[in-house]
Amino acid sequence: MNTLERFAIAGGSALLPSGFQDDVVITVDHGVIVEIGSEANGAPVMDARGLRVMPGIIDLHGDAFERQIMPRPGVHFDLQLALAETDRQLVANGISTAFHGVTFSWEPGLRSRETLVRLMAAMDAAAGHLSCDARLHLRHETYNLDGEEEVLGWLAKGRIALLAFNDHTADILRKIGHPKDGMTVLQRTGLPAEALQALAERVAARHGEVPASIRRLAAAALAAGVPMASHDDPSPEVRTGYQTLGCTISEFPKTIETATLARLYGNPVVFGAPNVVRGGSHMSNAVSAAVMARAGLCTVLTSDYYYPAMLPAAFRLSEDGVCDLANAWAMISSNAADAAGLSDRGRLAVGLRADIVLVRTPAGRPPSVAAHVIGGHLAFAAKGAPRFHAPLKAVALETL
């Protein structure tokens, strides 16, 4: 389709801040929602009858792109190709804004400094070619003390959109001694077990330096206005420690007590959408996202390791009676926007970015994206989806 500066989406069931409203007309002009009413006022119209019209999905934590970079152990692909393929997956699954969760570890290989720097440069170069608004969620391993100065510099320069504090060092040491558990780590680092163990032990021996490093990084992020998350909070005490530093997002807390405290603090609490879709976590020591949502302890869902999970997760929560669809969708749109400080998106409202997903819900089939508008541009259209043509006229989507 040729790019249209002004158009309208009409006839669907639209999720507005006040709730679902049928037969509403959403008018877009130059990438912004300028009117929500009952008339298109001469603009070309996309007829969305039979479809849900939803705010674009915001993914605060997705690292499935790692499989585009290294689909098999030791097999690496060009980063521009990987980012382009990731972008196609994102827009086809209704994700308008994606925070790529890139781990900055003391490990060599996939999560090394070299990979991170190359990926940051690739994201900069690709920005004008991608449909999804891709941002950097830096997952900083707290024992990566040698990387602190660079992270401080990136924060000051505005290179980081979300900073997360990770601590996987003890977990890696535990896994090395178990061939099955350790295989993933060994494959992504490219090191033999003995070399990885020796490296991890040297890193772990610097544990006394870690708290001060976390404090310096948190202070720098606060000064730069960068939101912060603590990853895998194991206890209420750890969550409290991060809270005192201004780190206000609890990402994948390990216990109900920790999540409960995070909500008492008013923190966004993040869990994985794959957990909801699959009916439980793939981690034996993780709590269920659906259980946490039912208890009011999950406020944001992310793709984690599987982009297609976010859209069906919201519908699954609604179908299972955990919450209504409006509140479930908020977990992947408005709540995520609020957590990241993105005041220009996450809702269908006048003055906000026109990130709009048209969702079809065929009987007996998973919900899917019929069309996806990002910043006012048609980023994705499924098989049979209409396009705008002259003369300007309404086009039907309900047959998709």
Question: Which tens digits make up the pLDDT trace of 108-167?
Answer: 999 999 999 999 999 999 999 999 999 999 999 999 999 999 999 999 999 999 999 999
State the total domains in the chain. Answer: 2
Q: Sign of the C-alpha dihedral, residues 374, 221, 253, 142?
A: positive
Q: Pairing relation of β-strands 162-166 and 228-231?
A: parallel
Would you say 352 and 382 are in contact if contact means Cβ atoms under 8 Å apart?
Answer: no
Higher pLDDT, 76 or 207: 207
265 and 204 in a common domain: yes
114 and 170 in a common domain: yes
- Residue 295: the pLDDT is 95
- Residue 284: the pLDDT is 53
- Mean pLDDT throughout 79-95? 97
Question: What percent of the chain lies above the pLDDT cut of 90?
Answer: 84
- Mean pLDDT throughout 247-265? 97
Measure the CA–CA gap between 359 and 347, rounded to whole angstroms.
Answer: 15
79 and 224 in a common domain: yes
Measure the CA–CA gap between 210 and 143, rounded to whole angstroms.
Answer: 6
Task: Find the domain containing 365 and state its range.
Answer: 6-55+347-396
- Mean pLDDT throughout 331-339? 98
- Mean pLDDT throughout 195-200? 94
Would you say 55 and 356 are in contact if contact means Cβ atoms under 8 Å apart?
Answer: yes
132 Cβ contact partners less than 8 Å away, ≥ 6 residues apart: 87, 90, 91, 95, 96, 97, 98, 374, 379
| pLDDT of 296 higher than 90 | yes
- Does 152 fall in a domain? yes
- Residue 182: the pLDDT is 82
143 and 193 in a common domain: yes
| pLDDT of 235 higher than 60 | yes
**What is the DSSP-derived secondary structure letter of residue 400?**
-
- Residue 394: the pLDDT is 46
Question: What percent of the chain lies above the pLDDT cut of 70?
Answer: 94
- Residue 285: the pLDDT is 54
- Does 1 fall in a domain? no
Reported residue count of the chain is 400
| pLDDT of 397 higher than 80 | no
Higher pLDDT, 271 or 399: 271
- Residue 393: the pLDDT is 46
Q: Sign of the C-alpha dihedral, residues 120, 121, 124, 126?
A: negative
- Residue 1: the pLDDT is 41
61 and 28 in a common domain: no
- Does 95 fall in a domain? yes
At 280, the pLDDT band (50, 70, 90 cuts) reads low
Would you say 12 and 52 are in contact if contact means Cβ atoms under 8 Å apart?
Answer: yes
Q: Pairing relation of β-strands 13-16 and 19-22?
A: antiparallel
134 and 223 in a common domain: yes
Write out the two tokens for 166.
């990770």
115 and 211 in a common domain: yes
- Mean pLDDT throughout 14-24? 96
- Residue 184: the pLDDT is 85
Helix, strand, coil shares, percent, the chain, to 5: 40, 25, 35
- Mean pLDDT throughout 268-295? 84
103 and 191 in a common domain: yes
At 279, the pLDDT band (50, 70, 90 cuts) reads confident
Give the CATH number, domain containing residue 238.
3.20.20.140
Enter the pTM of the model: 0.93
Q: Sign of the C-alpha dihedral, residues 106, 202, 234, 287?
A: positive
141 and 215 in a common domain: yes
CA 110 vs CA 63, 159, 282: distances in Å: 12, 20, 22
321 and 387 in a common domain: no
**What is the DSSP-derived secondary structure letter of residue 113?**
H
Measure the CA–CA gap between 141 and 105, rounded to whole angstroms.
Answer: 5
138 and 168 in a common domain: yes
- Does 208 fall in a domain? yes
Give the CATH number, domain containing residue 384.
2.30.40.10
| pLDDT of 389 higher than 80 | no
Would you say 162 and 138 are in contact if contact means Cβ atoms under 8 Å apart?
Answer: yes
Average confidence score pLDDT of the chain: 92
11 and 78 in a common domain: no
- Residue 215: the pLDDT is 98
| pLDDT of 64 higher than 60 | yes
- Residue 388: the pLDDT is 54
- Best CA proximity match to 315, nearest among 264, 368, 260: 368
Higher pLDDT, 173 or 212: 212
- Residue 400: the pLDDT is 37
